[in-house]
Amino acid sequence: MTMGTVFATGAAGGIGEATVARLLDDGYTVVAADISREGLDALARQHEGQPLHTIAADLTDEQAAREAVRTARREVGQIDRLVNLIGWFGTQPFVQEDSAYWRKTIAINFEALLYVTHEILPEMIERKRGKIVNVTSDAGKVGQSGEAVYSGTKGAVIAWSKSLARENARYGLNINCTAPGPTETALELAQDSDVIGRVIRVIPFRRFAKPAEQAAMISFLCGPDSDFITGQVFSVSGGLTMI
C-alpha cells in the first residue's frame, strides 16, 4: 500500500536525490521535477522499477511550473505531499553582485515555490489533507556573509511558510521547513577548500551533513509522526545554529 504521492522540486540535486531515494523507500510514489533532464534520467535509472515519475521543467517559469503539476496529476492522480527542494546560491559580497544575479536567486529560491505551491495547495485544501515541506537554510534564520540575497530569499520562504501554516491549519494541512546547514553536495563542495575548512571548524560536529541526513528530516515531516507539527523550521546543521 502506497503512502501517497510526493511532488518534489529540485529533485535531481544532492539533497534532492537523497530525498527521492528516502521517500521511495518510505513507500511513496514520487514525482521528481527538475530543470536537468540529464539529472532526472540518471535518477530514473537508479530507481528503475520503483514508483518514480520524472518531469523536466524550468520551475522559475510560471506556466511551465503549473503545467508540470498538471502533468503529474494526469500521470499519478492526486498529490498528497509537496517537497520544495529547489535552490541555488553563489558566494560573493553584496556590493559585487548585480541585478541579474539577484533576479536568478529570487526566481529559483522563492518564485518557483510560489508557482508550484499555488497550483497544488487548492487540492489539499479541498481534501483537508496534505503536507508541504519547504527546504530553506540556516542562512535564512541568522544571515550569512557572502550570501546576502540568498539569505534574504530563504528568510522569505520561512516567513511565507509560517503564514501558509497559519492560513491553512483550519484545513488540517501541515506546512513546515527544514533548514539544512552545510551539506556534502556538489554546490557546497565546489567552494574553495580553505572556505570549507573554516566552515567545518565552526560546526560542533566538525563535518558537513550527508544528504541522507537532510532527507531523514524531510521524511519525518512528510510522515504521520509529524501530524501535530506545523509552522516550524527544523535546523539540520550539526549544531552550527542553535536557535
Q: Is 2 exposed, middle or buried, given 0-12, 13-18 or 19+ CB atoms closer than 10 A?
A: exposed
Contact criterion met (CB below 8 Å) for 66 and 58: no
Query: Confidence class of residue 102 from pLDDT cuts 50, 70 and 90?
Result: very high
Domain residue limits, the chain: 5-235
Pick the CATH number of 5-235 from 3.30.300.180, 3.40.50.720, 3.40.50.150, 3.40.50.1110: 3.40.50.720
Catalytic residue check, 171: no
> What pLDDT, in 10s, does the model give residues 113-154?
999 999 999 999 999 999 999 999 988 888 787 689 999 999
User: What is the per-residue pLDDT for 96?
Assistant: 87
Which residue's entry shows cell 571548524? 201
Max distance between CA atoms of the chain, in angstroms, equals 53
Which has the closest alpha carbon to 185: 7, 10, 8, 9?
A: 10
Q: Which of 28, 101, 150, 171 is catalytic?
A: 150
Q: Three-state DSSP class for 134? A: strand
> What pLDDT, in 10s, does the model give residues 12-55?
988 999 999 999 999 999 999 999 999 999 999 999 999 999 99
Q: In this structure, what C-alpha cell is assigned to residue 81?
A: 505531499
Query: For residue 81, how far is the Cα from the chain centroid?
Result: 12
> What pLDDT, in 10s, does the model give residues 172-223?
999 999 999 887 776 666 666 767 778 788 788 888 889 999 999 999 999 9
